[in-house]
A and B are shown apart, each in its own frame.
Chain A
Amino acid sequence: MNLADYKYADIIHRCFRCGYCKFPVNWMDANNCPAYARFRMETYSCGGRLWLTRAWLSGEIDWSDHLAEILYSCTACKNCEVKCPLGFSVDILNMIIAAKAEMVESGRILSSVKEFLENIQRQGNPYGHSRVKRGEWLEGTGIEPYQGHDFLYYVGCVGSYDARAQEVARALGKVLQKAGVSFGVLGNDENCDGNEVNKLGEETLFEMLAEENVAQFKRLGIQKVVTLSPHSYNAMKNDYPRFNRGFDVMHYTQLLESLLSDGRLDVSGGFDAAVTYHDPCFLGRWNDEYEAARNVLAAIPGIQLIEMERNRDSTLCCGGGGGNFYIDLLGGSERSPARIRVREAHATKARILAVACPNCLTMLEDAVKAEGLEEELVVRDVSEIVAEACGIT
């Protein structure tokens, strides 16, 4: 390995390991880096990861499975970048992703990451399920294949294949139908958005996915996209422009917000519960969108919205980013960030933990079970709450 070939060779030494990156914006905990919260060894903090990257690339330490684990345990939640006060902080995640890219190019990555990427290469989703099953969630919904509609409803891999997330994909579809939005889906022709591939450092695979998606959308004349997942939203909004993205993209909470303010959704059915909202990293810290979901929830009668200690840009990542909803490097402990977050939600005395991301949904729901809190805390997607308030069963 050669430090000189590394893209950020000129700044990687600038990390002081002062540790500001461990804190949330509101300083309330020294463990807001999900990997550090899980393992509590200095190596798993952002500074540890940067120092180890430099040591590896300059030959001071060798590649090992443990080094790969440390690197891939980063969920790209952006807490470190937001907190670091130093001049190079804007490139922190770029540096970590570039380090992952070095590993990817050398071929030496964790076998779970290899599976993740190969499954996407082969079947267009990280689970390795067949492409021809991607549209199965549509059965019985009456949702139309995209053909010149106003919006493309882009579902993403988790929403298409994960059983629980499919329920949310359907709920959102029904809400949009109820609001009379003109939209269609790609079904089996939908391909992975590539956000996690990008954060895992497989640059050429991401390029291929982005280019193909952009070309496909152009062919179909798609002008506006609404995504289920903030991950898709992030990739399409921030990374697709360099592939000549010719469409606008919004996250579904933003669309619901405007539908509500236009009076196109009747939520008078209400939703009677104390609710706490978990800010997803790829909507919040990555894209500064904290209020859309809150405004949607606030518009529903009966909801009592309680904030967790770490909310908005202080949110604690559920631990599912950077492919970790699949490769699961942060699971298996009561210190898993998802379980920490669930305990935090439970402590607010809310009965509902509201999410706006299918990754957060699966991570946090599993955590509720692991914590034995199924009787006291239920994870629901914002779209499911809206669906209920609209009287959709």
Chain B
Amino acid sequence: MDSIRQALAEIVGEEQVSTHPEELYIYSFDLGTTEPHRPDYAVAPRTTEEVQGIVKLANKEKIPVVPLGGGLSLAGLAVPFKGGIALDLKRMDSIIEVNEEARYAVVECGVSQAQMCSYLERYHPTLTHSEPGAPGTATIGGNIAIHGQGDLAQPYGFNSDMVNGLEVVLPTGEVCRFGSCAIGASWFTLHPLPDLGLFLGWGGTTGIITKISLRLFPCKKIRGVGLFVVEDEELVPEVMYKLTHTQMAEDIIAFSQAIPPFTSGLQHFTINLAADSEKELEFKQEIIWDDALGEYIRSGAGGFLGFSRGLDRPVVSKTSDWRKGGGFEYVGSIMPIEKYPECYRRGREISERHGIPYTVLGRCIGIAHAMMFSWTYAFNRADPETVKQARGALHETDDLVLELGGTIWKPGLYGQKLVVDRLDPNTLNLMKKVKQLLDPNGIMNPGNWEVSR
């Protein structure tokens, strides 16, 4: 162990390696309900070269490497299940380039969402990125690696669809680039070069993303949120369909929660609008409230609760303190929007059975091509019984997702198994081959997505 620590210190410097119990303790945790597992080393590199050095050493010594961004997957995706090196990538936080004309930014993997928001607001106010609403310490790298979605999901899709290029350190230590950057051109396009389907959605088990070229989108002068509500959950899919057809809105989210009690049983919509002028804003509002949603408002099936200017970016989340308990975890799923009513009803039932006030949310992805539907279960970290209840509810919900015909977004160990068990055998076989090819020694985030079994 000692010689490995020494070798790591030679790569990143003495201060960026730790085998102290304190660091090992902290880096063993996911913030959700996943049980902690202690790494053997906590390491924080600064450059791609340092990451390469670490990965090569890990390969030689057969030590697991667990890449970590903001650590907010809440699915245990950065828990060192087999010990090894907890690799804290947040020091790789430079915004390398913002290209205004081609609307992209090249960033290191550890750039935080909040840093991205504030940097663009300050220095490139006509550009914005799709901000996921997780606490601002979530990283760009981590978010695209798990196919995250943000406040531009409608109409632009997953955050991982907004990638023009990647730089990745393979588990065997080589550095690869994908997209136009791979042929020495600027980082402006991914297609038509060989793509990066090998590194997104794999839970950090096939390599370490070190640089990203992220597509940016127009940021208009006026941004705000319109609030709409319906009582009948069966209406939600058609409302989403109609809204998306207008092509006038940005982020569209439907949500329902038990607290505060007067919201319980209702389905609220937040509809983000952006405009460069009052004329544009008024026009868009007319199309949405008068034309698309007018019938519901006039018949009383739905209510317009007003439009407020200004968007909280980054979003500040207080979910963890709902039960004054310092913790929550959620099942995220990618579902067909038509399943919203059932997701809501079944989710509510599971929550209530586990004594947890229900919280569900559906975020429209693409032009209603799908939604990210989540069921959130808060727990009290000081009360193990509530953690147990939350875990039970989470597992039941994982089962529910597949039963209803969706798929689990960024599943933890329990959900991973459900997905793998259902995977097309040829696909699974190919995944095994890919994993074996890229990571012959099985060092990259072992425990997660164990397809090589």
Chain A 9-51 per-residue mask, 1 if CB under 8 angstroms from chain B, else 0: 0010111111110110011111000000001111100001001
B311 proximal to A (CB < 8 A): no
B40 CB contacts on chain A under 8 angstroms? none
B70 CB contacts on chain A under 8 angstroms? 19
Also in contact, A30 and B321, with CB within 8 A (given A23-B114, A61-B22): no
B229 proximal to A (CB < 8 A): no
| Contact call A40/B44, Cβ cutoff below 8 A | yes
B42 CB contacts on chain A under 8 angstroms? 41-42
| Contact call B44/A41, Cβ cutoff below 8 A | yes
Complex partner residue of A66 from B22, B93, B320, CB under 8 angstroms: B22
Complex partner residue of B316 from A52, A55, A85, CB under 8 angstroms: A85
B163 proximal to A (CB < 8 A): no
B16 proximal to A (CB < 8 A): yes
| Contact call A43/B320, Cβ cutoff below 8 A | no
Chain A 151-171 per-residue mask, 1 if CB under 8 angstroms from chain B, else 0: 000000000000000000000
A52 to chain B, nearest CB (A): 6
| Contact call A40/B22, Cβ cutoff below 8 A | no
CB closest residue in chain B, given A21: B137
A67 proximal to B (CB < 8 A): yes
State the interface size on chain A (CB cutoff 8 A): 37
| Contact call A86/B22, Cβ cutoff below 8 A | no
| Contact call A41/B321, Cβ cutoff below 8 A | no
Complex partner residue of B137 from A18, A52, A70, CB under 8 angstroms: A18
Rounded to whole angstroms, the CA-CA distance of A67 and B18 in the bound complex is: 13
A60 CB contacts on chain B under 8 angstroms? 25
| Contact call A30/B320, Cβ cutoff below 8 A | no
Rounded to whole angstroms, the CA-CA distance of A203 and B382 in the bound complex is: 28
| Contact call B31/A27, Cβ cutoff below 8 A | no
A204 proximal to B (CB < 8 A): no
A148 to chain B, nearest CB (A): 52
A62 proximal to B (CB < 8 A): yes
A64 proximal to B (CB < 8 A): yes
| Contact call B324/A18, Cβ cutoff below 8 A | no
B380 CB contacts on chain A under 8 angstroms? 13
B136 CB contacts on chain A under 8 angstroms? 19-20, 23, 27, 30
CB closest residue in chain B, given A309: B122
| Contact call B23/A20, Cβ cutoff below 8 A | no
| Contact call A30/B93, Cβ cutoff below 8 A | yes
A314 to chain B, nearest CB (A): 10
Also in contact, A52 and B321, with CB within 8 A (given A20-B316, A27-B118, A27-B136): no
Rounded to whole angstroms, the CA-CA distance of A87 and B322 in the bound complex is: 9
| Contact call B23/A43, Cβ cutoff below 8 A | yes
| Contact call A13/B137, Cβ cutoff below 8 A | no
Interface residues of B in 299-353 (CB under 8 A from A): 314, 316-318, 320-321, 324-328
* SS class, residues of chain A in contact with chain B: loop
A268 proximal to B (CB < 8 A): no
Rounded to whole angstroms, the CA-CA distance of A86 and B326 in the bound complex is: 9
B88 proximal to A (CB < 8 A): yes
A52 CB contacts on chain B under 8 angstroms? 22, 25-26
B135 CB contacts on chain A under 8 angstroms? 18-20
CB closest residue in chain B, given A71: B22
Rounded to whole angstroms, the CA-CA distance of A87 and B288 in the bound complex is: 37
Interface residues of B in 1-37 (CB under 8 A from A): 15-16, 18, 20-23, 25-27, 29, 31
Complex partner residue of A41 from B23, B93, B318, B326, CB under 8 angstroms: B23
A45 to chain B, nearest CB (A): 9
Also in contact, A86 and B44, with CB within 8 A (given A18-B31, A20-B137, A28-B119): no
B381 proximal to A (CB < 8 A): yes
| Contact call A27/B91, Cβ cutoff below 8 A | no
B112 proximal to A (CB < 8 A): yes
Rounded to whole angstroms, the CA-CA distance of A86 and B317 in the bound complex is: 9
Interface residues of B in 81-131 (CB under 8 A from A): 88, 90-91, 93, 112, 114-115, 117-119, 122
| Contact call B23/A14, Cβ cutoff below 8 A | no
Chain B 256-268 per-residue mask, 1 if CB under 8 angstroms from chain A, else 0: 0000000000000
| Contact call B118/A28, Cβ cutoff below 8 A | yes
B152 CB contacts on chain A under 8 angstroms? none
B364 proximal to A (CB < 8 A): no
B368 proximal to A (CB < 8 A): no
Rounded to whole angstroms, the CA-CA distance of A26 and B117 in the bound complex is: 10
A27 CB contacts on chain B under 8 angstroms? 114-115, 117-118, 136, 314
Interface residues of A in 53-79 (CB under 8 A from B): 55, 60-62, 64, 66-67, 70
Interface residues of A in 196-236 (CB under 8 A from B): none
| Contact call A43/B26, Cβ cutoff below 8 A | yes
**Apart from A30-B137, A52-B25, A64-B22: 18 A-B pairs, beta carbons within 8 A:** A13-B380, A13-B381, A14-B325, A17-B31, A23-B137, A27-B115, A27-B314, A30-B90, A30-B93, A30-B136, A40-B16, A40-B90, A40-B91, A41-B42, A41-B88, A43-B23, A51-B29, A88-B321
Q: List 10 A-B contacts (CB under 8 A).
A: A14-B324, A19-B136, A27-B114, A27-B314, A40-B16, A41-B23, A42-B88, A55-B25, A66-B20, A88-B321
